[in-house]
Amino acid sequence: MAKGIVVVDDIPVICAECDFAHLTQNKQYFHCDVKNKTVYNAKPDWCPIQEMPKRRTGYLIDTERHKDNYKHGWNDCLSEIEGKM
């Protein structure tokens, strides 16, 4: 099975603001359609919507030959996900 991602413009603070959650039949809780789980309180730790990683400005690889390629590859990947390429 292939994996995929969904990019949202604004990360919801609570499940009531999320496009992927709906009220349960008794209207007391929310149900996460992505994880197929019931949410009883605030946004849970297992929420699939996570903040995008930060762009890299420094170098993580010690060898001179690969420093620029690693940083640019990371940032290019983020640009691709954001639809900016």
Higher-confidence position of 59 and 73? 73
Residue-averaged pLDDT of the chain = 83
pLDDT, tens only, 64-79: 565 556 667 788 888 8
* pLDDT category of residue 9 using cuts at 50, 70 and 90: confident
Contacts of 48 (CB under 8 A, 6+ apart): 20, 32, 34, 35
Higher-confidence position of 68 and 30? 30
User: What is the rounded average pLDDT of the residues 51-69?
Assistant: 68
Element (H, E) at 22: strand 21-23
Following DSSP, what letter does each residue of 25-71 receive, concatenated?
A: TTSSSEEETTTTEEE-SSS-TT-S--PPPPPP-S----SGGGHHHHH
pLDDT at 56 > cutoff 90: no
